[in-house]
Amino acid sequence: MTRIEVSLKKLEDRSYSIFVGHRCLAELERILSELELKGSVFIVTDDNTNELWARKIKKHLEHISECVKTISIPPGEEQKSLRTIEKLARKLINMEADRTSTLVAVGGGVIGDITGFLASIFLRGVAFINIPTTLLAQVDSSVGGKTGVDLVEGKNLVGTFYQPRLVFTDVDFLSTLPREEFLNGMAEVIKYGIIMDYDFFEFLEANVEKILGRDPDVLVKTVSHCCKLKRNVVEDDEKESGLRRILNFGHTIAHSVESASNYRVKHGWAVAVGMVAATLIAVGREIIEPDDARRIETLIGRFGLPVSLPENLSSELIINGLSFDKKRRKGVLHWVLPRKIGSVEVVTGITRGEIKNAIEKLQGKSL
């Protein structure tokens, strides 16, 4: 038998920068020219973000490439499918994209996830630039390199880890974002404070009105700080083996609430309730002081996010849904519970009774 070693140890540097600013579109040309992109540029966007922002962005991109084209798809999570990937890939071929082409996502998490995935597999990988336009995408999905689409069996079940060459965020994009979509991202913002940064949590407490009023300076501080915090986690744990798990705070129950409601409950809403549920479990175990728990619930509520569950979502349905969480490892559910504001621990062995107790407290009653 002949043994042939295929040695692939050469580490590739996939470092990139995230730029965060306000009314900074004019700087896009200069920033992009540093990347020395050579070929044609394809903007992938949805019909809303195309009208609102991608047209403007296209004008700036035309300064760095002679060939800039836009592909716009309908908005909505339903688009996050393999069917869309195939359609877009065929469109790109028909529009003469080649290996030197760059895909630029202009939109929320849906567009970012689809475009990143497509860039990672189209012609075995082309350059990807992400221009996130929702708060959720700016603080969460655009950092960390996760891409992918949904299957009927569940969300994000097919995808890749693929880093963008650049993330460009202008908080001005958030000026057109509906309140509901804005709050969707706020849940993740609050999450960062609870899991890893007490001072940031205090900053949020002091700036609720300014954030809700979308004060650009406060938004730049908020978004860039969240990107730094997520960057720190991702740098240490790119492929999600340990530390990155803390980002899952509030998500164990959130995923179940989302699917139990047939995705009528938005992700951020589910995360808000999930964070309160995890906090209640921590109170029950005397892991966290009740005063800290109340502060967590109060901040979530002050932003207009839910701190209770509708009665019609039964605790049974939510608990049964937990077993389908893809983050479950070897049959064990890992719970991220707050120890105090700014610090969490990962716990296993939470009983059905404890979960039921927390969910029932969430149905109508407060902490």
List interacting residues with ligand ADP (CB under 6 A): 46, 48-49, 52, 75, 77, 107-111, 133-134, 136-137, 173, 176-177, 181, 184
Instruction: Report the residue number, 23 or 339, with the smaller CB distance to ligand ADP.
Output: 23
Residue nearest to ligand ADP (CB): 108
Least distance CB 271 / ligand ADP (angstroms)? 11
Instruction: Report the residue number, 176 or 323, with the smaller CB distance to ligand ADP.
Output: 176
Contact call for residues 343 and 196 (beta carbons, < 8 A): yes
Least distance CB 86 / ligand ADP (angstroms)? 20
Contact call for residues 198 and 156 (beta carbons, < 8 A): no
Active site residue 240: yes
Beta strand residue intervals within 134-185, DSSP E: 149-151, 154-158, 166-170
Instruction: Report the residue number, 187 or 336, with the smaller CB distance to ligand ADP.
Output: 187
Contact call for residues 339 and 195 (beta carbons, < 8 A): no
Least distance CB 299 / ligand ADP (angstroms)? 21
Pairwise CA distance, residues 237 & 102, whole Å: 27
Instruction: Report the residue number, 224 or 279, with the smaller CB distance to ligand ADP.
Output: 224
Instruction: Report the residue number, 162 or 173, with the smaller CB distance to ligand ADP.
Output: 173
Active site residue 188: yes
Active site residue 312: no
Which two tokens mark 179?
């309140």
**Catalytic-labelled residue, pool 188, 221, 258, 297:** 188
Instruction: Report the residue number, 125 or 178, with the smaller CB distance to ligand ADP.
Output: 178
Residue 69's alpha-carbon distances to 28, 102, 139, 226, in angstroms, are 17, 11, 27, 32
Which sign does the torsion angle of CA 136, 140, 145, 147 carry? Answer: negative
Active site residue 334: no
Instruction: Report the residue number, 266 or 302, with the smaller CB distance to ligand ADP.
Output: 266
Instruction: Report the residue number, 186 or 275, with the smaller CB distance to ligand ADP.
Output: 186
Contact call for residues 42 and 101 (beta carbons, < 8 A): yes
Active site residue 295: no
Least distance CB 109 / ligand ADP (angstroms)? 3
**Catalytic-labelled residue, pool 191, 255, 295, 361:** 255
**Catalytic-labelled residue, pool 267, 295, 297, 361:** 267
Pairwise CA distance, residues 135 & 171, whole Å: 8
Pairwise CA distance, residues 53 & 277, whole Å: 37
Least distance CB 130 / ligand ADP (angstroms)? 11
Active site residue 51: no
**Catalytic-labelled residue, pool 3, 9, 10, 124:** 124
Least distance CB 134 / ligand ADP (angstroms)? 4
Say which DSSP state 138 is in: I
**Catalytic-labelled residue, pool 225, 251, 295, 361:** 251
φ, ψ (nearest 5 deg) of residue 106: -125, 100
Beta strand residue intervals within the chain, DSSP E: 17-21, 41-46, 68-73, 102-107, 127-132, 149-151, 154-158, 166-170, 335-340, 343-347
Active site residue 124: yes
- Could you give the 3-state DSSP secondary structure of residue 36? coil
Residue 352's alpha-carbon distances to 171, 320, 359, 362, in angstroms, are 42, 10, 11, 15
Apex 12 CA angle, 165 and 142, nearest 5: 30
Least distance CB 212 / ligand ADP (angstroms)? 16
With b for 16 or more beta-carbon neighbours within 10 A and e for fewer, the 27-60 pattern comes to ebeeebeeeebebbbbbbbbebbbebbbeebbeb
With b for 16 or more beta-carbon neighbours within 10 A and e for fewer, the 89-115 pattern comes to eeebeeeebeeebbbbbbbbbbbbbbb
**Catalytic-labelled residue, pool 165, 230, 245, 361:** 230
**Catalytic-labelled residue, pool 77, 240, 354, 360:** 240
Least distance CB 139 / ligand ADP (angstroms)? 10
Active site residue 267: yes
Which residues form the catalytic set?
Answer: 124, 146, 188, 230, 240, 244, 248, 251, 255, 267
